[in-house]
Structure 1
Amino acid sequence: MSLYRDEGVVLRTQKLGEADRIITILTRRTGKVRGVAKGVRRTMSRFGARLEPFSHVDLQLHSGRSLDVITQVETLHPYGEAIVADYARYTAGSAMLETADRLTVGEKEPALRQFLLLVGGLRTLAEGGHEARLVLDAFFLRSLAVAGYAPALSECARCGAEAVRAFAIVAGGVVCGACRPAGAAVPAAETIALMIALLRGDWAAADASESRHRAECSGLVAAYLQWHLEHGIRSLRHVEREWPGQAEAARDPAEPAHDPHVFRV
């Protein structure tokens, strides 16, 4: 077996046997890696606590046939300490980890931009300088951009017209009146401006936004993300309890609630 070293963020863990765990890590150079951490569930484990979700670690591994073996771990940044102490941060962080896991499908395929984005998002979340849901929505939008699915926000996604009137997930973002499909949401202009600010990293504008526009933005961003992933983000069910009402905020009251193109979390 060949030995290699990398740094990464722990995405998730699962039990293996009586004392081991399988650790899924998004690394800087190697991409997504699944490794076995032997004996970490024992009380006297040398590095069990270092391999918890949210941890930014430096680790050494042996390559295996199906699973690599983790032999050394050093903590670089214990983001989990601050994140798990606050419910809003914890649920937002869990959704970030799950999204990073979903967007990096192949194992050992380099995903440097996604790794850097995740580390930056967890650091911002742990520092607590911005509302947790804003950090999460910014992460969602930038992750989509890295994956090549950035929504059109400044001009019509279909014809390029500047006079936009609605947001259509199936069309790829904002659309004009002529291109608007049935069931498209009609968000406030301030909501679209907030999405643009989050995508660009304009935190002054994002922090100054109103709560109703944040709720509407969250609904649209979550729906757009899950449309492209073709699966729901399970962690969002817990995030929604912290920010109730976002599904209704994203829906055009003129459209029937059962329309499949109308966003609901």
Structure 2
Amino acid sequence: MLYRDEAIVLRTHKLGEADRIITLLTRQHGLVRAVGKGVRRTTSRFGSRLEPFTHVDLQLAMGRNLDTVTQVETKGSYSAALGADYERYTAGTAMLETAERLVVEEREPAVQQFTLLLGALHAMAAGEKRPGHVLDSYLLRSLAVAGYAPSCVDCAHCGRRPGESGHHRWFNPAMGGVLCSTCRIPGSASPAPETLRLLGALLAGDWPVVEATDPRHVREASGLVAAFVQWQIERGLRSLAYVER
């Protein structure tokens, strides 16, 4: 059976002498792994269209274990823009790995995750925002779509709202975000109020607040985001180790 879908190429690896297995995040069928037959040959009609960071419209033949790519049209390619800048490339790679880890259901629509990743890749390639800002915002928002949104205002354990200070003092990834003094557990971080405000802005996509934040609070927030992601995604993200913070 043939079907068409829109997809972002997440990863590829070799199969046999001339083929590749392509890992795709599709809009309507979630995570799909498909064979690109002959794409490693120089005579291949669409080998270059099936590279990571490429947005494609494609036709696939459904198989028992792996589908087969039969047609590909490029809708947008971000590989050149990201590949020319190490910081953007490593941040982009972390986004692709995150998408693959969070979309666990195959053959099921993943419209929100697909749209979020596509927008983040476009913003990263455009170069108008700092790579770290785009990455941290994407990480928090993709986790929220998957059901793991961090609490940035109310206590993640008891739900208590902050008092006159306007913020709780503690943050713990294992507990789901900020904690009040009563619920604080050993090992919790005590970030600056500006850092917590930045986390909320990254989650909401409030770019004026994000871009106006002092660099020291940006660094602190990035550390908390990385810790939160690594906790929620049990095996961690290998590509985050290469991201400049």
TM bucket normalised to smaller? over 0.9
Secondary structure, aligned partner of 1:170: helix
Tell me, yes or no, if structure 1 residue 183 matches structure 2 residue 187: yes
Per-residue CA deviation, residues 110-165 of structure 1 (Å, 9 max, x unaligned), is 21110111001101101111100110000010011101110111111122221411
Task: Work out the CA distance in 1 between the residues paired with 2:109 and 2:148.
Answer: 19
**Distance in 2 of aligned mates of 1:168 and 1:206:** 21
Q: Does 1:20 align with 2:19?
A: yes
Corresponding residue for residue 97 of structure 2:
98
Specify the code of the residue in structure 1 equivalent to 2:193: A
Distance in 2, matches of 1:158 and 1:39, equals: 53
Matched, 1:141 2:145: no
Q: Which one of 166, 169, 176 corresponds to residue 172 of structure 1?
A: 176
**TM-score for the superposition, normalised by structure 1:** 0.89
Output aligned runs, 1:1-265, within 5 Å.
2-161=1-160, 162-163=162-163, 164-239=168-243, 242-243=244-245
CA distance in structure 2 between the aligned counterparts of 1:103 and 1:31, rounded to whole angstroms: 10
Distance, in Å, in 2 between the alignment partners of 1:104 and 1:69 is: 20
**For 1:7-52, what per-residue CA distance to the aligned partner results, in whole angstroms no more than 9, with x for missing partners?**
1000000100000000000001111111100111111111111110
Q: SS at 1:151's partner residue?
A: coil
- Following TM superposition, the consecutive aligned residue runs of length 4 or more in structure 1 with deviations greater than 6 angstroms are none
Tell me the CA shift for residue 179 of structure 1. Answer: 0.9
State the aligned residue count: 240
2:129 maps to a residue whose letter is H
Instruction: Give 5+ residue unaligned stretches, structure 2.
Output: none
The one-letter code sitting in structure 2 at the alignment partner of 1:228 is Q
Provide the TM-score with structure 2 as the length reference: 0.96
Corresponding residue for 1:260? none
* Sequence identity percentage: 60
Rounded Cα–Cα distance in structure 1 between residues aligned with 2:22 and 2:77 = 16
Alpha-carbon distance in structure 2 between the residues aligned to 1:203 and 1:126 = 17
